[in-house]
Structure 1
Amino acid sequence: MKNMTDTSLITIERLTIYACNYLEIHESDLAAFPSLSTLEIRYGSLGYISPRALCGSISLSFLDFYVDAIADNVTSPYPEAFIGNTCNNDQTLAAGNLHSGETFLPMLQEMSLSNFQFSEPIPENAFQNLLHLQILHLSFISFSSNETFMSLDVLSNLESLQIHHPTSYINLDLFFGNVLPKLQNLKRLWLLETNIKTLSSVRDVFSNNPLIEEISFFWNKLSFIHELTFRNLSNLRSLDLAVNKNLTSLQHDILRGLNNLEELILKDCSLKSLNEVDFSDVTSLKTLSAEKNDITEIPNIFSNFPEQEVVLSRIQTIKLQSNNIKCVKLFTFSNLAHLSEIDLSLNLISSVDDKAFYNLENIESINLAGNRLAVISPKSLFNLQGLYLLDLKDNMLTYFPTFPCNVNSRPGLNGLPSIRVLTDLRRNNLQCDCSMFEFLYHFIAFGFTEGCSLPSLYDREKYWPGVHYLVNQRFHQAELLCNNPRGFFYIEDILNEPSLFLSDISNTSYFSCPRGCRCIRACQESVNIVSCRNQSFTDIPSDLDESTEILLLQNNRIESIPKSSLDIVPNLQYLNLHDNRVNHIEKGSLDQLLDVDLSDNRLTELPRGTMMSLSLKNLNFSKNDISSLYASSFAGLPFLEILDLSHNEITVFPSGLFDNLTKLTSVFIGGNPLNCTCDMLYLSKWYRQASFKPNGTRPDTDFGQIECVPFANGTQLSKWIDDHETSCLSVSEEPVVVTGSNSALVSVLLIIITILTVVFITTLVIYRYHLEFSVMVYARTGFRCFQISREDESSKDFDAFISFSNQDNDFVLNDILPRLENHSPPWKLCIHHRDFAVGESIATNILNAIERSKRTIIILSTQFLESEWCSYEFRAAHSQALRERSQKILLVMFNDVDKSTLDKELKAYISTNTYLRTDDTMFWSKLKYALPEPINSTEESTRSVNTTIV
Structure 2
Amino acid sequence: MMNMPQNIVIWMLGFILLVEGQNITTDVPKQELYCPQSCTCGEGSNLPRIYQPFADIRHIYCVWTNDSLNFTEEITMATESDQSTAYDIHIKCYGDTDIVWTSSDFLQKTFAVRMFNCNIINDGLILFPTDSITKIFVLDTLRPADVDKFQFQGFKSATVFQISYSNLNRIPNLPFMPSLLVLTLEGNNITDLSCDLFYKKICLMCIVELSSNSLTSIPNCPSFSSTRFGSPTYNFGNNKLSDISYIGNLDMTRVDLSYNQISHLPNFTKFNLFNLTVSHNSIKEIKRNSFPSNIMLRYLDLSYNQIETIETAAFSNLLNLKELSLNGNNLIIFDSRHLSPTYYVIDVDLRSNQLEYPPFQDGRLPEPPSYLKIRAAENPYICDCTTNELMTQQSVQQIFSDTNLMKCQRPTRLQNQSVVSLNLTDSCPIVRKCPVSCVCDYNRISDITSIVCSNRTLSALPLDLPGGKLNLNLTSNMINILDKRDYFPRIVELDLSYNEISNISSTGLTLLSNILTLDLTNNNITSLPRSITQVPFSSTTQIYVSSNPWLCSCDLLWFAQWLGEKNSSISDKDQLRCNFLSINVIDITEDNFKCNVQLKTYLYYLITILLLIIIFFVFLIIKCRYNAKVLLYTRLRIQYFAPPIVSEKLKENDVFIVYDDEDITWMKYVLLKRLEDIEKPGYKTVIKDRDFLPGLDENENVNDAISNSYCTLFIFSDNFLQNEWCLYNFHCAYEHMLKEKDIKIVIILKDKIDVDKLNDDLKAYFKTHTYLEFNDTIFWDKLLYVLPKNSHIIPHENYIIV
Q: Does 1:158 align with 2:142?
A: no
Question: What is the letter of the counterpart of residue 350 of structure 2?
Answer: D
- Matches for 1:307-326 after TM superposition, within 5 Å: 311-326=269-284
Residue in 1 that maps onto 2:409: 481
Q: Does 1:332 align with 2:260?
A: no
Relative to structure 1, is the Cα distance of residues 518 and 278 closer, same or farther in structure 2, using a 3 angstrom cutoff?
closer
Residue in 2 that maps onto 1:206: 175
Residue in 2 that maps onto 1:108: 86
1:353 CA displacement: 0.9
State the SS of the aligned residue for 1:225: coil
Residue in 2 that maps onto 1:575: 518
| Contact in 2 for aligned 1:296/1:323 (Cα 8 Å) | yes
Which residue, out of 369, 373, 385, partners 1:438? 385
Q: Does 1:342 align with 2:319?
A: no
| Contact in 1 for aligned 2:107/2:129 (Cα 8 Å) | no
1:128 CA displacement: 3.7
Q: What is the TM-score of this pair, normalised by structure 1? A: 0.43
Q: Does 1:145 align with 2:125?
A: no
Q: Deviations over 1:226-256 (max 9, x none)?
A: 3234534362432222222155342415986
Residue in 1 that maps onto 2:186: 218
Residue in 1 that maps onto 2:462: 518
1:327 CA displacement: 2.0
Runs of 5+ consecutive residues of structure 1 not aligned to the other structure: 1-25, 43-57, 89-102, 302-310, 452-464, 628-647, 651-950
Which residue, out of 469, 474, 496, partners 1:553? 496
1:295 CA displacement: 3.0
Residue in 2 that maps onto 1:61: 57
Q: Does 1:183 align with 2:164?
A: no
Relative to structure 1, is the Cα distance of residues 502 and 79 closer, same or farther in structure 2, using a 3 angstrom cutoff?
closer
Residue in 1 that maps onto 2:12: none
2:362, 2:543 → 1: CA distance? 47
State the SS of the aligned residue for 2:199: coil
Q: Deviations over 1:737-760 (max 9, x none)?
A: xxxxxxxxxxxxxxxxxxxxxxxx
1:540 CA displacement: 7.5
1:353, 1:82 → 2: CA distance? 65
1:551 CA displacement: 2.2
Residue in 2 that maps onto 1:501: 430
Question: What is the letter of the counterpart of residue 104 of structure 1?
Answer: D
2:89, 2:138 → 1: CA distance? 9
Residue in 1 that maps onto 2:99: 122
State the SS of the aligned residue for 1:197: coil
1:599 CA displacement: 5.1
| Contact in 2 for aligned 1:254/1:277 (Cα 8 Å) | no
Residue in 2 that maps onto 1:492: 417
1:286, 1:137 → 2: CA distance? 29
Residue in 2 that maps onto 1:250: 219
| Contact in 2 for aligned 1:382/1:404 (Cα 8 Å) | no
1:383 CA displacement: 3.6
Residue in 1 that maps onto 2:238: 268
Q: Does 1:422 align with 2:375?
A: yes
Relative to structure 1, is the Cα distance of residues 129 and 318 closer, same or farther in structure 2, using a 3 angstrom cutoff?
closer
2:535, 2:198 → 1: CA distance? 92
Residue in 2 that maps onto 1:307: none
| Contact in 2 for aligned 1:314/1:339 (Cα 8 Å) | yes
| Contact in 1 for aligned 2:433/2:466 (Cα 8 Å) | no
Residue in 2 that maps onto 1:94: none
1:170 CA displacement: 0.8
1:313 CA displacement: 3.3
1:276, 1:287 → 2: CA distance? 16
- Matches for 1:231-310 after TM superposition, within 5 Å: 231-233=199-201, 235-253=204-222, 257=226, 259-277=229-247, 279=249, 282=251, 285-301=252-268
1:354 CA displacement: 1.0
Residue in 2 that maps onto 1:600: 547
2:91, 2:75 → 1: CA distance? 16
1:348, 1:134 → 2: CA distance? 47
Question: What is the letter of the counterpart of residue 116 of structure 1?
Answer: C
State the SS of the aligned residue for 2:168: coil
- Matches for 1:648-667 after TM superposition, within 5 Å: none
| Contact in 2 for aligned 1:344/1:368 (Cα 8 Å) | yes
2:141, 2:334 → 1: CA distance? 46
1:358, 1:404 → 2: CA distance? 19
1:340 CA displacement: 3.9
Q: Deviations over 1:833-871 (max 9, x none)?
A: xxxxxxxxxxxxxxxxxxxxxxxxxxxxxxxxxxxxxxx
| Contact in 2 for aligned 1:273/1:295 (Cα 8 Å) | yes
Runs of 5+ consecutive residues of structure 2 not aligned to the other structure: 1-31, 49-53, 437-448, 452-458, 553-559, 585-802
Q: Does 1:135 align with 2:112?
A: yes
1:298 CA displacement: 1.0
Q: Percent identity?
A: 12
Q: What is the TM-score of this pair, normalised by structure 2? A: 0.50
Residue in 2 that maps onto 1:821: none
- Matches for 1:718-737 after TM superposition, within 5 Å: none
State the SS of the aligned residue for 1:115: strand
1:181, 1:197 → 2: CA distance? 19
Larger fraction in helix: 2
1:192 CA displacement: 1.3
Q: Deviations over 1:87-130 (max 9, x none)?
A: 87xxxxxxxxxxxxxx6352225x25142338853343675445
Q: Deviations over 1:335-391 (max 9, x none)?
A: 655534323344444422111121545545434455554555563344466333433
Question: What is the letter of the counterpart of residue 492 of structure 1?
Answer: Q
| Contact in 2 for aligned 1:252/1:276 (Cα 8 Å) | yes
1:380, 1:212 → 2: CA distance? 39
Cα RMSD, aligned residues only: 5.5
1:422 CA displacement: 1.2
State the SS of the aligned residue for 1:131: helix
1:592, 1:404 → 2: CA distance? 41
Which residue, out of 367, 389, 393, partners 1:447? 393
Bigger Rg, structure 1 or 2:
2
Residue in 2 that maps onto 1:393: 352
State the SS of the aligned residue for 1:299: coil
Question: What is the letter of the counterpart of residue 38 of structure 1?
Answer: G
1:41 CA displacement: 10
State the SS of the aligned residue for 1:83: helix
| Contact in 2 for aligned 1:355/1:382 (Cα 8 Å) | yes
Relative to structure 1, is the Cα distance of residues 540 and 467 closer, same or farther in structure 2, using a 3 angstrom cutoff?
farther
Question: What is the letter of the counterpart of residue 288 of structure 1?
Answer: V
| Contact in 2 for aligned 1:402/1:467 (Cα 8 Å) | no
Relative to structure 1, is the Cα distance of residues 107 and 439 closer, same or farther in structure 2, using a 3 angstrom cutoff?
farther
1:471, 1:620 → 2: CA distance? 57
Residue in 1 that maps onto 2:195: 227
1:439 CA displacement: 1.9
1:499, 1:117 → 2: CA distance? 70
Question: What is the letter of the counterpart of residue 245 of structure 1?
Answer: S
Relative to structure 1, is the Cα distance of residues 317 and 596 closer, same or farther in structure 2, using a 3 angstrom cutoff?
farther
| Contact in 2 for aligned 1:83/1:125 (Cα 8 Å) | no
1:421, 1:218 → 2: CA distance? 35
Relative to structure 1, is the Cα distance of residues 626 and 387 closer, same or farther in structure 2, using a 3 angstrom cutoff?
farther
2:351, 2:428 → 1: CA distance? 27
| Contact in 2 for aligned 1:600/1:622 (Cα 8 Å) | no
Question: What is the letter of the counterpart of residue 228 of structure 1?
Answer: D
| Contact in 2 for aligned 1:291/1:323 (Cα 8 Å) | yes
Relative to structure 1, is the Cα distance of residues 357 and 230 closer, same or farther in structure 2, using a 3 angstrom cutoff?
closer
